[in-house]
Amino acid sequence: DAGVIQSPRHEVTEMGQEVTLRCKPISGHNSLFWYRQTMMRGLELLIYFNNNVPIDDSGMPEDRFSAKMPNASFSTLKIQPSEPRDSAVYFCASSLGGFSNQPQHFGDGTRLSIL
């Protein structure tokens, strides 16, 4: 079975540019999560969706970050404009039924470098 699929795997861009990260969750999963991982702060939950509806976006750093889930099989995380401090690995995860009683399954991440 296909796991969570993220693209691109690597992104290098100059500050000020718009960055769009993409995620395809596991088919049938109804919850989707976006995380950011850095050495300094570890894994941070940015936002999660349940049935395509954003439930908690309190982890989104600032207005430069936005996330959408137009349908059950696709989500995007957008940074505009990007800054060097946004450099990190961004993970998408999905689960069956929220986070409270089912494990999340992670993609292999997008390694983002903002120059």
- Which listed residue (19, 107, 112, 114) binds other proteins by CB under 8 A? 107
Residues in region 43-102 near other proteins by CB under 8 A: 43, 45, 91, 93, 99-101
Residue owning tokens 């009683």? 101
Task: Give dist(CA 17, CA 99) in Å, integer.
Answer: 33
2 contributes a contact to other proteins by CB under 8 A = no
Span interacting with other proteins, options 14-22, 37-45, 60-68, 71-79, rule CB under 8 A = 37-45
CB-based contacts of 58, cutoff 8 Å, min separation 6: none
φ, ψ dihedrals at 86, nearest 5°: -85, -5
Show the binding pattern over residues 5-34: x = contacts other proteins (CB under 8 A), - = does not.
------------------------------
> Which residue, 41 or 62, is less far from other proteins as judged by CB?
41
Peptide bond preceding 8: is omega within 30 degrees of 0, i.e. cis? yes
Task: Give dist(CA 101, CA 108) in Å, integer.
Answer: 23
Tell me which residues touch other proteins (CB under 8 A): 4, 39-40, 42-43, 45, 91, 93, 99-101, 103-109
